[in-house]
Amino acid sequence: MGIWIETCKPYIDAFHLQQTDGMLDRHWDFTKQGLLTTDLIRKITEEHNVAHLVQYVEVVYAFEETDEDVYENMRRTMSLLQDTLGEGGC
């Protein structure tokens, strides 16, 4: 991941966060267990001096998901990220 950040850093003002299993391009919310943790996000963004860049959550749900489930999972995702990364961290 570091090589991508270092290569793109001069050209970007923001990047997206998504939970994934590393097998497919999942775009899960952070209520699912995956490869990314808030500790890893913090470590990488600080290590590569990009914590000041805008970070936004990019989630794609299957159309079968109910509005209520989507809302609740996004609420939980944003609470988790804001509680652990801070208001400016997502």
Distance CA 86, CA 76 (A): 14
CA 7 to chain centre: 19
Question: What would the pLDDT profile of 17-52 be if each residue is shown by its tens digit?
Answer: 999 999 999 999 999 999 999 999 999 999 999 999
Question: What would the pLDDT profile of 8-19 be if each residue is shown by its tens digit?
Answer: 999 999 999 999
Per the structure, the count of domains in the chain is 1
Q: Residue 52 belongs to what domain range?
A: 2-89
pTM greater than the 0.95 cutoff: no
Q: What are the start-end ranges of the E strands in the chain?
A: 14-17, 54-57
